[in-house]
Each structure stands twice: as C-alpha cells, then as structure tokens.
Structure 1
Amino acid sequence: MRPRLKNVAWERVGEELRLVYDLRDQLIVTDPGGHVEKLLALLREGGRTVGELAGELALPVQDVLGAIEALDAERLLEDGDRLGVLDAAEAERHFSNLAFFESFGTLTRSREDLQRRLRESHVLVLGTGGLNSNTIPHLSGLGVGRMTLVDRDTVDVRNFARQYLYRWDDLGARKVERAAEWVRAFDPAIKVQAIDTGIESAGQLAELLDETRPDVVASGIDQPTEIDLWVNAACVGHGVPFVRGGITVTKGIVWSVAPGESACRACVPADPTRPEGHADPDEPALSAEIAAARLFYSRPQPNRGIGPVAGLLGALGAFEVLRYLTGFEPPAYAGRPLTIDFAGACAMSQAEWSRNPDCVTCGRS
C-alpha cells in the first residue's frame, strides 16, 4: 500500500491546519510540531509505503499508521497501488467518472476500482420507452460494460415528447433495435443485446433472468398492471436488485428493492384497486386512499411524462442503479420510495415500506 492524498488544499492557522477537499466539509487538525503538514506533503507526492513515510518523518510506524487511518476515515486518501491501472484511453474516456468517484475512494477501494466494477457489470433494461430511454444514456456514459434491452414497441410520433434515443427517421422502427444501435454508436466498447418481446408473466421474467444473469434490473414497463409484481417476484427469487420509476399525474416516484434486505413490492398493498386484506376499518385514511385509487384507475390515464419528467426520473433511477453496481454508497430508495411533486416545485419526500415477515415473496418465515 502506498497512500496518496486526494486533491486536498490546506493552510496553517497558528498551531492548526485547515484541510478542505469538498466545500461541504473542512477538517481542523492540531499540528504544533508540523509533522502532520510534512506528512500531507509526502502523501501529495505519493509513491511511499507507510514504513517509508515513517522513515522520512523520523516517527514510529504506528504513529504514522494512526494518522493514515484517521485521514482515510475522512476519505482523503487512496492507495496509489490501486491507481494507474486503467490504460490511457480508458482513463481519458472516463475522466469525469473517475473525478466523481475520487470523492468515494478509500485505501481499500480506489476510483478506478469503482470504474472497473461498472465495466464488468450487466444491467437488464426492461422497456426502452419514456423512463429507460433516459436511463440508458446515463448507464452508457457511466461505462456499464453490458446491457440487455427488452421492448416490444415501435417508434411512434407521441414518443418524441420525452424519448430522445430516437429520431424522426426511426418512425415505425422497432424501439429495442434502435436503442441498441444508439448504444453501439455511442460507445462500441459496450456489449448490448436487443430482445424484441413483451413481458407476459412472472415465469417469463424468471427465465429471462436465468438466461441473462444481470447484476441489476432497471424496470420501466407499465403494462400489464401486474408487471411490477412479476418483476418483483422474479428478482427477489433470483436475488437480483431492481430499480423502478414512474408517474401518476403530477407525482413521480422512484423506488428499488434489495432482495433479502429491504421490503419488496409485495410487502405493500400490491393493487390499490383491490383492497381485500389491506383496508383496516380503524385506518380511515388508508381506506380513503384505496377508494381514491380505485376511482383513479377506473379511467384511462394518458402518459403525462414530458421530457423533463422522464429525464429527472431516468437520472434518479440511473443513480440508484449506480449505487447497486459500485456500492459507492448504499441504495437510497430500497424500500424507501422517493416521491417528486411536479406540481409543487419538484419537492421531494420519502416514505418507508415496512418489511412484512409474512410476505409471500420475501417473507423470512
């Protein structure tokens, strides 16, 4: 291990040092003898082991190791031995990604480690329409190494309000083929498979997961109405996390399921139009909510997902996929759906899904 300091600036204020890496934080370190400042200078140069640092500073190895551990706890260090592994072309291609991941690098997990995880990852994308036509470019830009795209529709005039993968010349073409072509043209290094089919059952999804073996599923299919439960059952059964987003009139939602950890979709009332077993007479608010949902779903609902709506939901979904693939931070929406109020300045809030130990899909009993 050869600890290297990140892009940290510091200044001396009397016997203290003020260290700043991110504007959201600053670290004040007491350093009357100047040893910490000398250590920082050596760490900025990099290329030294802990023993070599101790030798140059004329300090016990344990003292230097303690300082290294303290700086690493503040996420100010990376291991130089874990950097410089990417070739020049790949480092240039992912320059901004690596700069972002630097913030989350540590001595045990460098920015390049996180980027390599993406390169080695596989995402199954269900639907290449409004939501995922915005998610797919983000996954491509991040450098996800493999994608399997599934859709059964053709490009339609109505799509152009929010689906920017497609062009006017694509009218009538198969969406999934055009989406795959876009990915290949964007980055030939990404392996992409197009499957032109609809999803008709949970069993079909289970077979698809068996065949493709993805790391994460990005679900953006709205029909049939049981689709979320089908995806949920297949993914929980295979231990594969999935991410979902959607919109109901003026509210958007993004949520995910981490099998074995978070509540799954079947833990909450699955179909608000069928309240059997869910409506509690002692909870009038819940009964009223179910009644409102029953009325809402009794009428055809046009797709209100304009470009900014689909773009925001697609980006938030891509961020959640990124969390699962790299672990740079824990999933944010696993059993904690994020709601965006498009009629309220895009205010965001989160609720909590309680895990049901008797759930037929993920129950522990």
Structure 2
Amino acid sequence: MLLPRVKRKHEPHRFDDGTVRIGGEIYGLATEISDPTGGAWAALTLMDGTRSPADVAEAVCRRLPGVSALQASRIVAALIASGHVEDASAPIPGELSERERERYNRSQAFFHQVDLAPGRQGWDAQVRLRAARVVVLGLGGTGSHAAWALAASGVGRLHCVDADVVELSNLNRQVLYTEDDLGRAKVDAAVGRLRRLNSDIEVTGERRAIGSEADLLSVVTGADVLALCADEPREPGIRIWANRICARAGVPWVGGGYNGPLVTVGAFAPGRGACYECLAAGEARRRRPGLPVDLGGPGVVAASAGVSGHLVAHSVISLLTGVPEPTTGTVIGLNLIAPDQHVWVRHPPRPECPVCGSDAEIDRVTK
C-alpha cells in the first residue's frame, strides 16, 4: 500500500500569504504552491507515512470542511506526483546486498533528495548503476578522476582503456598513480587501484591506442555510456570519431577536459539534442571570425583535473540513472579564475547533419 511521506530535506514551509514552499532552499528542487483553501498545507502535514492517500484526503476534509472530497483527492494526487513525497512502505530493491546498502547509503540519500520522479526512492538509481557498463577512454588527469568516481559510485562494470605509461609529470594531477607506478602501464596501475577501491564491481582494462574509427567502435560496442577522457588523435579528432561511432552504435557519450582554468564537459545521446559536431559548428558561427578555438592544453593542476573528471562522472551517472535529468546536446563548465563566467553552450541540430539532423540516416550497431 502506498503510504505517502514528505521526503527528508523537502519539508514544507508556509508563508504569511498562504503560499506553501516544498523542497527546501536548493535551487532547482523547490516548488511553491498557491494554497488559498489550505488543503495542500493540511495534506502535507498529514503525509507522515502512516496514512494511505485516501486516508490523507479524508483527514483533510475533516480538518477543512470547505474542501470537498474530490478537491482533497486531487490535492493529494498532485502532491504525490510532485516528486517531493515518497512511499514509506516501498521496500529496498532485492538486488542490493546488505554490504552494498551500507556502502552506498550516502549515494541513496543524494539520489533520493534530488530525484523528483514520482515513486522512486534513491535505491532505484543505485540498481541502475550496478547493472551498467561504462568505458573510460583515457586515464590521464580527467580520466583518472572520472574512473575513480565511477568506481566509488558503484558502476557495475567499468572498462578502462589507455596506451600510456605513468610518468613523473603525471603525478601532479592523476589521482590513481603513485611514485611506485612510474614506468608501469597506466591501465594496469589504474585497474589495480580501482579494484582495491571497490571489490563489489568488475573492473577491466586494456592497453591500446585508438587509431581509427574501427578501433573506437570495438571499444564502445556493448557499453551503456562512453566516458571520453582522451584527446588523441587530434586530427581529424577523436571527439569527431566518438560523435559518429557512438551515434551509429546507439551509445551515449560524455567528453570532458580542461584548458588552463577553463573546465568543460559535454553529454551527447543519439536522438536527444544536437550532436558534438553541430555544437562545434554553432560555436564557430558565434565566435568572432579568425578567433582560434583551443579546447585543450598542458596547463592543469590537481584541482582543475579533479573538477573536470568529476563533472564527467556526474554526467555519466546522470545518463545512466536519469538523476538528475541529463542535459544532452550541451556543453557546460566553469572558469576557475572567473567564477561568474559559467559555460553553457547549446545549439540546434543542423538539418543537414548526417549524425543528428532531420535527414540523418545512421545504420545502428546492435549493442
């Protein structure tokens, strides 16, 4: 039986003019309700996990004789649909062991707080992560932090790909390596570290360079999401390859990186907004003619690499779980030396684009 209860951190507040605010002060979560009859406030105070929706509606009518049974039922239904209310009787999914519930209880609290989809309780997102397969391509500054965050978050199968060895200059920002790893293949050191971080997931790796679209296709086939954290080859561009191959394979992908203090991440999914090439073309049209576009560079500190990697991991988790709602076809970011200069890049698909345009005809590869 559904037993509605207002979520923790979503407790309602009633203003002097009768307006009810539910969802707290977190930007993007709170909802303000015009409540002239007082029915919404009464229903929220009665939703403590001990009454069914019908019982709540009946109690509202008793408390407020001017509210009809139909009005009360509609108010209760609207509040349940708002996402600020949970089902106190919902069981924890059986897929998760007691050990996993203990490991991820803070993750569950995060998902529970920010997910406004009715009927979900936070553990649903963790189950989706547990069932997912993510490929992290590139284990440098961005990729090492992203892989760490995805393993810690409980992605069930994590596959790491990199061709390089650990060098001393890597250690200012690449979190998975130590001085003892100098000269080792990055992928070997990374896989070992990630397995020690989380033995409840499967971590695999391969040392290889991506030299063609065929190489990239062989890596992403069967993945749920690609985390693209590599910047080579630069010509014609591995992001161009990812854009086309992932569209063909039906695999969403996330690309992130840094250029000095500028940190950006983009998320792309077939059929959901503009592709990477359309965004790049839109930015080229917007910029002053002749201004060079440089989306990478050697300037980086541990903090900027960490922000970059964790933005990638956050976008991957969003794509896998739907929490928060993924912002696909978009590049976002921040400038660490100019906090007021947020990055928000969005352009419509070009009709003639062979990847995402209205005339696109892509042969899908079965996952």
3-state SS of paired residue (1:70): helix
Alignment of 1:137-216 (within 5 A): 137-210=148-221, 213-216=222-225
Distance in 2, matches of 1:288 and 1:266, equals: 19
Q: CA shift at 1:118, angstroms?
A: 1.3
Distance in 2, matches of 1:337 and 1:306, equals: 22
Counterpart in 2 of 1:49?
A: 52
Alignment of 1:57-96 (within 5 A): 62-85=70-93, 86-96=96-106
Q: CA shift at 1:52, angstroms?
A: 4.7
Q: CA shift at 1:88, angstroms?
A: 3.8
> Would the alpha carbon gap of residues 54 and 69 (structure 1) be closer, same or farther in structure 2, given more than 3 Å must change?
closer
Structure 1 residue runs without a partner (length 5+): 273-277
Alignment of 1:1-365 (within 5 A): 1-7=2-8, 8-10=10-12, 16=18, 20-24=22-26, 25=30, 27=32, 30=35, 39-46=43-50, 48-54=51-57, 62-85=70-93, 86-103=96-113, 104-210=115-221, 213-225=222-234, 226-268=237-279, 286-289=288-291, 292-293=292-293, 303-332=298-327, 334-345=328-339, 347-365=341-359
Distance in 1, matches of 2:345 and 2:43, equals: 45
Q: Which amino acid aligns with 1:68?
A: V
Distance in 2, matches of 1:51 and 1:45, equals: 13
3-state SS of paired residue (1:123): strand
Bigger shift: residues 1-10 or 348-357 = 1-10
Bigger shift: residues 98-107 or 5-14 = 5-14
> Would the alpha carbon gap of residues 230 and 27 (structure 1) be closer, same or farther in structure 2, given more than 3 Å must change?
closer
Q: CA shift at 1:269, angstroms?
A: 5.2
CA contact (8 A) 2:264 2:308 kept: yes
Distance in 2, matches of 1:162 and 1:354, equals: 35
CA contact (8 A) 2:279 2:330 kept: no
CA contact (8 A) 1:10 1:17 kept: no
Distance in 2, matches of 1:305 and 1:135, equals: 16
Distance in 1, matches of 2:13 and 2:337, equals: 46
Aligned length in residues: 343
CA contact (8 A) 2:20 2:41 kept: no
Q: CA shift at 1:342, angstroms?
A: 3.8
Distance in 2, matches of 1:40 and 1:339, equals: 37
CA contact (8 A) 1:155 1:175 kept: yes
Q: CA shift at 1:350, angstroms?
A: 1.3
Q: CA shift at 1:39, angstroms?
A: 4.2
Distance in 2, matches of 1:137 and 1:61, equals: 53
Q: CA shift at 1:233, angstroms?
A: 1.3
Q: Which amino acid aligns with 1:254?
A: V
CA contact (8 A) 1:122 1:147 kept: yes
C-alpha offsets along residues 8-39 of structure 1, whole Å, 9 cap, x if unaligned?
A: 44567789585554224475674878x76664
CA contact (8 A) 1:137 1:183 kept: yes
Distance in 2, matches of 1:11 and 1:267, equals: 44
Q: Which amino acid aligns with 1:2?
A: L
3-state SS of paired residue (1:195): strand
CA contact (8 A) 2:318 2:326 kept: yes
Distance in 2, matches of 1:157 and 1:172, equals: 9
3-state SS of paired residue (2:351): coil
Q: Which amino acid aligns with 1:257?
A: F
TM score, norm. by length of structure 1: 0.82
Distance in 1, matches of 2:12 and 2:258, equals: 46
Q: CA shift at 1:58, angstroms?
A: 6.8
Distance in 2, matches of 1:96 and 1:142, equals: 10
C-alpha offsets along residues 205-259 of structure 1, whole Å, 9 cap, x if unaligned?
A: 112223xx11111001111112111111110111111111122344332112121
Q: CA shift at 1:202, angstroms?
A: 0.8
Q: Which amino acid aligns with 2:144?
A: S
TM score, norm. by length of structure 2: 0.81
